[in-house]
């Protein structure tokens, strides 16, 4: 398979291989993984551009680093509009007609659907990183059936699965989505913090709030998945048992108003030891001030926040869901069952009451990050997957000119965009 080519004055000319990184969550861990990949790809011999939501949290940082970012106005998380999804599909197809690539790497569920459909149409290998399969989410058995069926239908269009933890990889193999040789586990990775850590400049407002107390923080998107209501329910117990504790919930998201109401109902809105803080990237401005990191999620794959806590040497108390057990050990922190405010409170109190335990956990955390979860290792292993696909004898779409037909823009009341072009039919083998 040849590297991506473009038309130049002297004719078709070979270039370095090129990848499209496609994602749909506007914030959270998946975009941070995309950011870390995009910033390092050139150093590994790949050209890259990124496509995602208009209001993505990583957009400004990519553009500041001169990485091409293509905003997709119709690519939105949680949208239930078939028209918007068809418009996003059309937009992606036209994008790849103008700027072909050697590999598409899709991150999260909706991007995974759109990218695999267009990749199949254009003969481009597609790598899919679910960042927690939708059928693994804690939303009830019936809510998991449809995502599992969709994933089975799309599996034949997937050149490689990149699972961010072993728990996710085992789930893919259990559902027989692809053979083991096409189902890879590559742990998420995050960059090293400043060295020494004393060179970091934490958020001053957070330092002022901390004072001489022990600061416990949840740095998280405020979504239902994170179950910050469970943390809020645990906080009064912790404050009663350890008056020196300070709690900060740092993040933005759709659950903020409900969480503030719950905090008020628990008597926390008037307690000077508890506060909400808005989040502005990068996360290091907050991690550098924390004494303990808390994550109370109901489901996860490999949460980036936990890895950032490891890198900054911040001990962790997190729920034992998904891949968190692969990151957090008894040396770096504590794992607790989900949806258990009592267990969460007990673990937090145990860490707050023991400065020696927190100090040793901090040292072990930094060592574990360097050994398993650094960004360079993640990029190197991911590029290895790309290279294997570029070298594989898989049919590849020919380079296209602007005059090549693309999917017709979907119009309300018309047939699916995939059926508007005569060559756009996709045969999906069923198992």
Q: Which residues of the chain have pLDDT under 70?
A: 1-14, 78-79, 196, 392-431
Q: Are 318 and 338 in contact (CB under 8 A)?
A: no
Give every CB contact of residue 162 below 8 A, 6+ residues apart in sequence. Answer: 105, 127, 128, 129, 184, 185, 186, 382, 385
* Token representation of residue 35: 């950011």
* Token representation of residue 1: 């398979």
- Which pLDDT score is estimated for 201? 85
Q: Which domains does the chain show, CATH number per domain?
A: 5-189+375-419 (3.40.50.2000), 197-372 (3.40.50.2000)
* Token representation of residue 348: 């937090």
Burial of 88 (0-12, 13-18, 19+ CB in 10 A): buried
* Token representation of residue 189: 């990775």
pTM of the full predicted structure?
A: 0.86
Residue 414 backbone phi and psi in degrees, to 5: -105, 175
- Which pLDDT score is estimated for 393? 52
Closest CA to 111 of 180, 222, 20: 20
- Which pLDDT score is estimated for 391? 85
The Cα–Cα gap between 85 and 417 comes to 10
CA-derived radius of gyration, the chain: 23
- Ranges assigned E (strand) in 320-417: 333-336
Closest CA to 357 of 415, 389, 317, 397: 317
């Amino acid at each position: 398979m040849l590297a991506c080519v473009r038309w130049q004055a002297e004719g078709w000319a070979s270039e370095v291989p090129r990848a499209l990184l496609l994602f749909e969550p506007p914030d959270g861990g998946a975009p941070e993984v995309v950011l870390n990949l995009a910033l390092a790809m050139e150093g590994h011999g790949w050209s890259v551009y990124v496509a995602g939501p208009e209001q993505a949290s990583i957009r400004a940082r990519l553009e500041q680093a001169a990485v091409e970012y293509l905003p997709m106005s119709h690519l939105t998380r949680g949208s239930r509009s078939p028209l918007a999804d068809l418009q996003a599909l059309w937009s992606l197809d036209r994008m790849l007609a103008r700027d072909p690539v050697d590999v598409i790497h899709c991150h999260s569920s909706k991007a995974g659907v759109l990218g695999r459909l267009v990749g199949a149409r254009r003969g481009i290998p597609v790598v899919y990183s679910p960042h927690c399969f939708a059928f693994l989410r804690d939303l009830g058995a019936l809510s998991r059936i449809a995502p599992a069926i969709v994933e089975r239908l799309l599996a034949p269009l997937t050149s490689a699965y990149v699972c961010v933890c072993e728990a996710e990889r085992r789930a893919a193999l259990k559902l027989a989505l692809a053979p083991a040789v096409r189902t890879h586990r590559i742990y998420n990775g995050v960059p090293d913090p400043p060295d020494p850590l004393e060179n970091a400049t934490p958020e001053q407002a957070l330092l002022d709030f901390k004072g001489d107390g022990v600061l416990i923080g949840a740095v998280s998107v405020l979504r239902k998945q994170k179950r910050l209501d469970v943390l809020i329910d645990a906080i009064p117990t912790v404050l009663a048992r350890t008056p020196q504790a300070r709690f900060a919930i740092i993040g933005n998201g759709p659950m903020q108003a409900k969480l503030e109401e719950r905090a008020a109902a628990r008597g926390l809105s008037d307690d000077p030891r508890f506060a909400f803080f808005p989040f502005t990237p990068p996360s290091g401005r907050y991690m550098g001030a924390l004494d303990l990191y808390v994550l109370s999620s109901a489901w996860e794959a490999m949460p980036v926040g936990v890895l950032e806590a490891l890198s900054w040497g911040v001990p962790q108390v997190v729920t034992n869901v998904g891949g968190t057990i692969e990151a957090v050990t008894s040396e770096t922190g504590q794992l607790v069952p989900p949806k258990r405010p009592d267990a969460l409170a007990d673990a937090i109190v145990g860490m707050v009451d023991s400065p020696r335990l927190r100090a040793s956990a901090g040292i072990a955390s930094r060592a574990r990050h360097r050994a398993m979860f650094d960004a360079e290792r993640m990029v190197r292993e991911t590029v290895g997957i790309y290279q294997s696909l570029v070298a594989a004898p898989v049919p590849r779409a020919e380079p296209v000119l602007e005059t090549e037909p693309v999917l017709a823009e979907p119009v309300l009341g018309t047939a699916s965009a995939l059926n508007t072009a005569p060559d756009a039919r996709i045969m999906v083998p069923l198992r």
